[in-house]
Amino acid sequence: MTLPDLPTLVDTRAELAAYLEAARGRGRVGFVPTMGALHEGHASLMRTARDRVGRGPVVVSIFVNPLQFGAGEDLDRYPRTLDADLEVCGREGVDVVFAPAVTEVYPSWPAQPQVTVAPGPLADVLEGRTRPGHFAGVLTVVAKLFGLVRPDVAVFGQKDYQQLALIRQMTADLCLGVEVVGAETCRDPDGLALSSRNRYLSADERASALALSRALCAAQGAAADGSEAARAAAVAVLAEASGVDLDYLAVTAPDLGDLAPGATGEARVLVAARVGTTRLIDNLPLTLGPSGSAPSGEDH
Ligand code: PAF
C-alpha cells in the first residue's frame, strides 16, 4: 500500500507567503478554512476546492479560533488532531496546510485584537441569539485568513448555513474579491450531519441526535402545506425525542429573513439543540406551497 504524500505544513505567515508566492503561478488558489478534527465533510470541501482550481494550489487552514468561542463553550476541549488531519489533507491532494499558533493570527493575544469585523444584524438571530459575539469572531478570522491566503475561491459547508450567509455578505460588502462556494452537508447513512463535535456524543446521545435530521425531513415532508405546517411537523418530531434540548427550530427565507404569511417557494429549515453537553446544528432546504416537496439537492 502506498501512503499519500503529506501536504507541506507551515505555521507562520512568512512561510505561508513564501509558499504561495511560488505556487500562485500554477493557477487559481483554492482555500478551505477549518478548525481541524477533519472528517469526510471537510474532505468533500477539499474536493470541491480542487474541482474549482484544477492544478492551482489548494490551501487548508487548521486553526481553533478563540475569538469565536464564548465563555463556557468548548474552546479548551475542542479536538486537536493535527497528525490525522494532515493525513486527510494528504489523501485529498491538498498542497499546503497553514496551522498557526494563536499569536501568529492575533499578535496581541490574550489581549483582544483592536479591530474586528462587525457582522451586522444577521448575526443577532438564530445562532447569534445563543452565542453572542460568535459571528464577529468567525468573520474576523475569515477576513484575516483571506488576507493571508488571498484565495480566488473559498469553500465552506452549508451545515453552518448562517455562517456561510454571513461570510458571503462580508465578502461582498467589504469587496474582498473571493468567490465563496457553499458545499452540501455530508451525512452519515442514518442522516446525522457530520460535525467535528459528533465525537463528543456517547452512543445513546448519538441515537438521540438523529432526531434533528428526522425533524428536518419531517419539515420537508409537510412543506407543501406551508411554513407553519413544516415547522409544526419538525417540532412534533423533536417533542417525541428523548435527550434533545431544543434551542431553536426556524423556517426562514433562503437568506434567513422572515417569511411572509402564506409564502410559497424556496425556504430553509434550521435547527439547533443540545444533546448531553454537545450543541448540534443542522438545516435543509424546503420548497413551500402546493408543489412543495423535498428539493432534489441541498445546494441553494
Ligand atoms: O466552520 C468553521 O470551521 C469555522 O467557523 C471557520 C470558518 C474555520 C472559522 O474559524
Given a contact cutoff of 8 angstroms between Cβ atoms, the answer to whether 291 and 270 are in contact is no
User: What residues are labeled active site?
Assistant: 42
C-alpha cell at 114: 483592536
Q: Which fold has domain 8-183?
A: Rossmann fold (3.40.50)
d(CA 186, CA 44): 8
Digit-coded pLDDT (tens) for 163-219: 999 999 999 999 999 999 999 999 999 999 999 999 999 999 999 999 999 999 999
Query: For a pocket test of ligand 1, which of 59, 63, 65 has the largest count of ligand atoms closer than 8 A to its C-beta?
Result: 65
Based on the number of CB atoms within 10 Å of its own CB, is 144 exposed (0-12), middle (13-18) or buried (19 or more)?
Answer: buried
Residue 298: the pLDDT is: 53
Rounded CA-CA distance 274/209 in Å is 9
DSSP label at residue 293: -
**pLDDT of res. 295:** 54
Does ligand 1 have an atom closer than 6 angstroms to the CB of 33?
A: yes
Phi-psi region of 57 (alpha: psi -120 to 50; beta: other; left: phi over 0): beta
| Position in ligand 1 atom list of the atom nearest CA 138 | 9
Asked if the model's pLDDT at residue 296 lies above 70, the reply is no
pLDDT number for residue 292:
45
Rounded distance between C-alpha atoms, residue 221 and residue 287, angstroms: 10
Phi-psi region of 196 (alpha: psi -120 to 50; beta: other; left: phi over 0): alpha
Asked whether 170 lines ligand 1 (CB < 6 A), one says no
Mean pLDDT of the chain: 96
Q: What is the pLDDT of residues 250-264, one digit of tens each?
A: 999 999 999 999 999
β-sheet bridge partners, residue 246: 273
Q: From 31, 32, 34, give the residue whose CB has the most ligand 1 atoms within 8 Å, as the site to mutate.
A: 34
Rounded (10°) angle between helices 227-240 and 203-222: 160
CATH topology match: 8-183 vs 196-288: no
Q: Which residues pair with 156 in a beta bridge?
A: 182
Q: Indicate the pTM of the whole model.
A: 0.95
The phi, psi pair for 158, rounded to 5°, reads -70, -15
* Whole-angstrom distance, CA of residue 27 vs CA of residue 95: 13
The CATH class given to the 196-288 domain equals: alpha beta
H runs (alpha helix) in 102-256: 102-105, 127-130, 134-149, 161-173, 203-222, 227-240
Measured in angstroms, how far is the CA atom of residue 163 from the centroid of ligand 1? 8
pLDDT digits (tens, 9 = 90+) for 163-178: 999 999 999 999 999 9
Residues 218-229, mean pLDDT to the nearest whole number: 98
- The rounded Cα 19 to chain-centroid distance in angstroms is 26
pLDDT of residue 10 exceeding 50, the answer is yes
Residue nearest to atom 3 of ligand 1 (CA): 34
Residue-wise burial string across 35-56, b where 16 or more C-beta atoms lie within 10 A, e elsewhere:
bbbbbebbbbbbbbbbebbeeb
Q: Given the CA of residue 157, which atom of ligand 1 is nearest to it?
A: 1
Q: Is the dihedral of CA 166, 169, 174, 178 positive or negative?
A: positive
Taking Cα atoms as reference points, which of 238, 246, 199 lies closest to residue 217? 238
Q: Would you kindly state where each structural domain of the chain is located, as residue ranges?
A: 8-183, 196-288
Q: Which run of H or of E encompasses 89?
A: helix 82-91
Q: Report the atom number in ligand 1 closest to the C-alpha of 63.
A: 10
